Structure 1
Amino acid sequence: MSKRVLITGAAGFLGSHLCDRFVKDGFHVIGMDNLITGRLSNIEHLFPKENFEFYHQDVSKFIHVPGELDYILHFASPASPIDYLKIPIQTLKVGSLGIHNCLGLARVKNARVLIASTSEVYGDPEVHPQTEDYWGNVNPIGPRGVYDEAKRFQEAMTMAYHTYHGLETRIVRIFNTYGPRMRLNDGRVLPAFIGQALRGEDLTVFGDGSQTRSFCYVDDLVEGIVRLLHSEYTAPINIGNPDEISIGDFAEEIIKLTGTTQKVVYKDLPINDPKQRQPDISKAKELLNWTPKYQRSEGLKITYDYFKQLSEEELFHKDHNNFEKYIN
Structure 2
Amino acid sequence: MEHLRKRVLVTGGAGFLGSHLCKRLVANGDDVLCVDNYYTGQKKNLEHLMGAPNFEMLRHDITFPLYVEIDEIYNLACPASPIHYQFDPVQTTKTSVHGAINMLGLAKRTKAKIFQASTSEVYGNPNLHPQNESYWGHVNPIGSRACYDEGKRCAETLFFDYHRQHGLAIKVARIFNTYGPRMHPNDGRVVSNFIVQALNNAPITIYGDGSQSRAFCYVDDMIDAFISLMETPENITGPVNLGNPEETSILMLAQKIIDLTDSTSKIIYQPLPEDDPIQRCPDIRYAEEILQWRPSTKLEDGLKKTISFFREFFRNR
Distance 1:239 1:199 in 2: 32
Tell me the distance in 2 between the aligned counterparts of 1:310 and 1:33. Answer: 22
Q: How does 1:32-47 map to 2 (within 5 A)?
A: 32-47=35-50
Residue of structure 2 in register with 1:323 after alignment: none
| CA positional deviation for 1:313 | 7.7
Partner of 1:283: 286
The farther-off stretch of 46-55 and 10-19 is: 46-55
| Letter aligned with residue 80 of structure 2 | A
**Alpha-carbon distance, 1:270 to partner:** 0.1
| Cα shift readout 1:1-42 (whole Å, capped 9, x = no counterpart) | 721000000000000000001001110000000001100000
Q: Residue 85 of structure 2 aligns with which residue?
A: 84
1:133 and 2:134 are equivalent in the alignment: yes
- The equivalent of 2:23 in structure 1 is 20
Q: Which position in structure 2 is the counterpart of 1:263?
A: 266
Q: Once the two structures are superposed, what CA deviation does each residue of 1:192-245 show, in whole Å capped at 9, x if it has no partner?
A: 000001112110000011110000000000000110001021120001011101
CA RMSD of aligned residues (A): 1.0
Cα distance in 2, alignment partners of residues 218 and 312 from structure 1: 23
| Other-structure match for 1:317 | none
1:319 corresponds in structure 2 to none
Q: Write out per-residue CA displacement over residues 255-295 of structure 1, whole angstroms, 9 at most, x where no aligned residue.
A: 11111111100000000000001100000111110011101
Q: Whole-Å Cα distance in 2 between the matches of residues 215 and 282 of structure 1?
A: 17
CA distance in 1, matches of 2:52, 2:279: 42
Q: Distance in 2 between matches of 1:129 and 1:123?
A: 13
The equivalent of 1:30 in structure 2 is 33
In structure 1, the gaps of 5 or more residues are 315-328
1:109 corresponding residue in structure 2:
110
Q: Percent identity of the aligned residues?
A: 50
Amino acid in the other structure paired with 1:291: R
* 1:157-306 correspondence runs (5 A): 157-232=158-233, 233-306=236-309
Amino acid at match of 1:300: L
SS at match of 2:313: coil
Deviations 1:130-172 (A, max 9, x none): 1000000000110110100010001000000000000000000
Take 2:207 and 2:312, find their aligned partners in 1: how far apart are those partners?
28
TM-score of the pair, normalised by structure 1: 0.94
Q: Which amino acid aligns with 1:297?
A: E
Q: What amino acid is the match of 2:181? A: P
Cross-structure match for 1:3: 6
Alpha-carbon distance between aligned partners in 2 of 1:129 and 1:236, rounded to the nearest angstrom: 16
Equivalent residue for 2:313, pick from 298, 310, 313: 310
The residue type equivalent to 2:89 in the other structure is P
Q: What is the CA distance between 1:312 and its match in structure 2? A: 5.5
The alpha carbon displacement at 1:128 in A equals: 0.3
TM-score by length of 2: 0.97
Amino acid at match of 1:43: L
SS at match of 1:49: coil
Please state whether the residue corresponding to 2:258 is helix, strand or coil.
Answer: helix
| Structure 2: stretches of 5+ with no match in the other structure | none
What is the CA–CA distance in structure 2 between the aligned matches of 1:74 and 1:206, rounded to whole Å?
31
Q: Does 1:60 align with 2:57?
A: no
Provide the C-alpha distance between the structure 1 equivalents of 2:260 and 2:280, rounded to a whole number of angstroms.
23
